[in-house]
Amino acid sequence: MINAAVTPSILIDIKKNRIRIHKKTIHALGDPKYVLLLVNPKEATVGVLCSGRERNAHRIPQATMDSKQCYEIYSTTLMHALREVCPNLHDSDSYRMFGEILPEKGIAVFTMSNAVLIGDEKEDEL
């Protein structure tokens, strides 16, 4: 069951070409087995969409959900797409984004203009 009351969050780490989907976001989406990452260049948003076993979907291993870890995806292509949409993201920085759950669509949406710069020392605390 999708929980729209939770404030979802993700971390974008440009330097490491990594996007970290926090566990509370995955739980709020109803613990899907697969997610698709979507970038909307017109609205400058990133979406985490509940998915089936589709071509570009990322499988979320149960071991990740059973541990204290967040789910991490490494993608140079995704980082390039994000930088094209939001050129003020710097190569050596990490950003946290808070978004909203759209339960009727099974997606968490994050607005890139609301990205918050975080320091390297805080990254490990996520």
pLDDT in tens, 81-106: 898 988 888 888 999 999 999 999 99
**Residue predicted with more confidence, 98 or 3:** 98
Asked, for residue 4, whether it belongs to a domain, the answer is: no
**52 vs 46, 55, 58, CA distance in Å?**
19, 9, 9
Dist CA 54 CA 23 (whole Å): 21
Domain that holds residue 15: 9-123
- Domain total in the chain: 1
Structure letter (DSSP) for residue 70: P
Q: Tell which residue, 4, 12, 2, has the closest CA to residue 114.
A: 12
Q: What distance lies between CA 80 and its chain's CA centroid? A: 15
Asked, for residue 2, whether it belongs to a domain, the answer is: no
Q: What is the pLDDT of the chain when averaged over all its residues?
A: 87
Asked, for residue 105, whether it belongs to a domain, the answer is: yes
* Phi (first) and psi of residue 78, to 5 degrees: -65, -40
Dist CA 32 CA 14 (whole Å): 25
